[in-house]
Chain A
Amino acid sequence: MINRPETRDLLAEARQVLFDSLVPELGGERKYEALMIANAMGMAIREQEQKEAGEPESTDVMLSRFLAGHVLPEDPGQGEQTLARALRERVVDGGDRELREVLRAMTETRLKVNNPGYLK
């Protein structure tokens, strides 16, 4: 079904109105709240863009490949759960270079949505 403009477009435009028209009129606690709303909308927009680019899937593939090589995945559908448990149970060596790469990829994928300005 076609339903246009698309969600991302709607959100981006609404966020722009918030910034251009509302935020300059507000002060104190209300301004802080408006900026929080803009922040949440920004995350929703970036998350949608990231999904469209297939980025979360490629991180999941990287994780699955690591688990297949290092841990017996009891539940391959819950990759992060399996990795967290393997780390808690000390099944995986914390110094493993490939592990570090997987952890970094997962973190950066989330950070690109939550706060891309934080990435150095």
Chain B
Amino acid sequence: MSALEDTFATFIARQTGASDATVVSFDKLSGGAIQDNFGLTLDLEGGNRPGRHEFVVRQDAPSGVAESLTRPQEFRVLQAAFGAGVTAPEPLWLCEDPVVTGQVFYVMARAAGSASPRMLVKSEFTDEQRRALVRTFGAELARLHSVRPPDDSLDFLSMPNPDNPALSRVALYRRYLEEIGEPHPVLEWALNWLEDNAPELGPTVLCHCDFRTGNYMISGDRLTAILDWEFAAWSDPCEDLGWLCSRSWRFGADEREVGGIGDKQDLLDGYREVTGASISPARVNYWEVMALVRWAAIALQQARRHMSGEQRSLELALTGRMVAQMEYDLLNQIQELEDGNDQST
């Protein structure tokens, strides 16, 4: 038994009051440059959770540079989402004492299934299964968006521009571009468009901000968990809907607007069934454009990490070369919206 799995097992035994915790399996899970995720299956004896349990332990990687939420903040967001009825991994215990492993970590329940985008997009779902899945996505986001400020447990999340969260994002991405220090005329042009076409102020809600194909688990045709909550923020509900529908996250299945899985109208219908309120497709279109700019800015930051020598990586280098795709999509999508020919509305 490695020291780390022993430490986690002992921590969980203490939390549950178990007299003994036997490690059945322990493995490092893929994904996450800032966090390490470990799968841990334990047989617990006694206490308030006797029997076999599958957990995920999430902690900062030793070299982690956190521009996103800290692990304790992420844990609190997960608690808020889970409490609102969102299909998220159940957050169990947070350990903020660095003496235990040297890093802050938390434990959550492990969800079944796969998050692999390529596998999911190639799945031979029936039309009915696709509709049901995409409606579920809408309903999940609607439940998440029922969490609204002020919320004392989420007081670390900053409030966006009170006049318009979209303009807060435009200012943020302009700052990112300045920091990157390379000229990107298409992104500057798109940011101007986003500033000029900002929708009227909507509600400010808790947004996941990275809910896309690849960041949720599917088992069979069922959603089992929405993952990766480190970018959660107060924002416009359509930020989440637009991100999920962005052309960047369809993984080759471009005709299926919602993450390469299904149709936007089903997503919006699923959302409406929970909230009772209709979302304007035009607002989602706007936030899809925002999503392309955001992903381009993030890709440029990732390439910068490679080029600066901070983290030499072929994957990061190639991500930088993907920016032309986002720029191409921006040129096409803005043109389509202006022409009123957008097929997705």
Q: Which residues of A contact B (CB under 8 A)?
A: 33, 36-37, 39-40, 43, 78, 80-81, 83-85, 87-88, 90, 94, 99-100, 103-104, 106-108, 110-111, 113-115, 118-120
Contact, CB under 8 Å: A83 / B314: no
* B192: interface (CB < 8 Å): yes
* B98: interface (CB < 8 Å): no
Query: Nearest 3 pairs between A and B by C-beta?
Result: A84-B183, A87-B188, A110-B324
Residues of B near A120 (CB, < 8 A) are 332
Partner among B189, B196, B325 whose Cβ is within 8 Å of the Cβ of A103:
B189
Contact, CB under 8 Å: B325 / A33: no
Minimum C-beta distance from B228 to chain A (A): 20
How many of B's residues come within 8 Å of A, CB to CB? 23
Minimum C-beta distance from A110 to chain B (A): 4
Contact, CB under 8 Å: B174 / A88: yes
User: Which of B34-42, B64-72, B83-91, B315-323 is the interface stretch?
Assistant: B315-323
Chain B residues numbered 315-345 whose CB sits less than 8 Å from any CB in chain A: 315, 317-318, 321-322, 324-325, 327-328, 331-332, 335
Contact, CB under 8 Å: B183 / A80: yes
Residues of B near A94 (CB, < 8 A) are 189, 192-193, 196
A87→B47 CA distance, assembly (Å): 64
- The answer to whether A115 and B322 touch (CB under 8 A), given A83-B185, A88-B174, is yes
Contact, CB under 8 Å: B331 / A40: no
* B61: interface (CB < 8 Å): no
